[in-house]
Amino acid sequence: MCEFYTVVPSNNGQLHLYTAATDRSLIIWKLDSFSDQHCDFSRLQQISTPSSIGDMAYVKYVDIFVIAGHDRMLRQFDINGKSIREVKGTDDEVAHTGKIQKVAVDASGSYALSVCSDKYVYLSDLRAGTCLAVLCGFGAPPTDATFSDDFKSVLVTTANGAIFIWQLAKNVTDRMISAQVRLMEEVTM
């Protein structure tokens, strides 16, 4: 059962489809042909993860996927399916239960927001593997989160329709902007 998918152009101009599901599988497909009636795909690779998958995010400029596992881990893969690293997506000092249900990653691939069923949203540094902040105080379970375009805020929606805007500490915003600038310098070189 496919629950998450992303289509990414490969280096040679082909389209690849990446699917992830709660059966612990990340599958990479190649688009062989398409018409108005149907599409034909062939499976290139299937990767089994140690935990059920809660969500998947693709980071365009660094060509990585971040997979949020129900074991509260964030696993990073390159577009060929090679494992890059895995880090804790939550803070065990705050809560020991709950599953990551949604993940959002900044454009540099350095920071992630994990929306967890324990009613917390966690901000993690994906490179250092540390939890930088825990957002709490939601009346209803959070359903999604994202970074603002200027990296100064985190926006969180909840099951009862409320929208929370959290201002990030200046040092966190500065680190996120620095990571974005470094990435853009690498991309334009």
Q: What are the CA-CA distances from residue 153 to residues 45, 156, 169, 172 (Å)?
A: 37, 10, 9, 10
**In this predicted model, what pLDDT tens digit does every residue of 82-133 receive, in sequence order?**
889 999 888 877 767 788 999 999 988 899 999 998 899 999 999 898 899 9
* pLDDT of residue 17 exceeding 80: yes
Amino acid at 31: L
Amino acid at 99: K
pLDDT of residue 1: 45
Least reliable range by pLDDT among 8-12, 132-136, 185-189: 8-12
Exposure b/e, 98-131, CB count within 10 A at least 16 = b: bbbbbbbbbbbbbbbbbbbebbbbbbbbbeeeeb
* pLDDT of residue 186 exceeding 70: yes
Residue 169 is classified by DSSP as P
For residues 51 and 99, give the distance between their C-alpha atoms in angstroms, rounded to a whole number.
11
Region 142-154: mean pLDDT is 94
CATH topology for the 4-188 domain: Methylamine Dehydrogenase; Chain H (2.130.10)
Residue 173 is classified by DSSP as H
What is the band of 158 on the pLDDT scale with cuts at 50, 70, 90?
A: very high
Element (H, E) at 23: none
For residues 17 and 30, give the distance between their C-alpha atoms in angstroms, rounded to a whole number.
6
Chain Cα centroid distance, residue 182: 20
* C-alpha angle 75-91-177 in degrees, rounded to nearest 5: 70
pLDDT of residue 4: 63
Residue with tokens 């804790």: 88
Residue among 153, 154, 165, 158 at smallest CA distance from 142: 158
Structure tokens at 85: 């690293």
pLDDT of residue 112: 95
pLDDT of residue 10: 63
**In this predicted model, what pLDDT tens digit does every residue of 21-73 receive, in sequence order?**
778 888 888 888 888 888 888 998 888 888 888 888 888 878 888 989 889 99
Q: What are the CA-CA distances from residue 78 to residues 56, 81, 85 (Å)?
A: 13, 5, 10
Region 140-149: mean pLDDT is 94
pLDDT of residue 123: 94
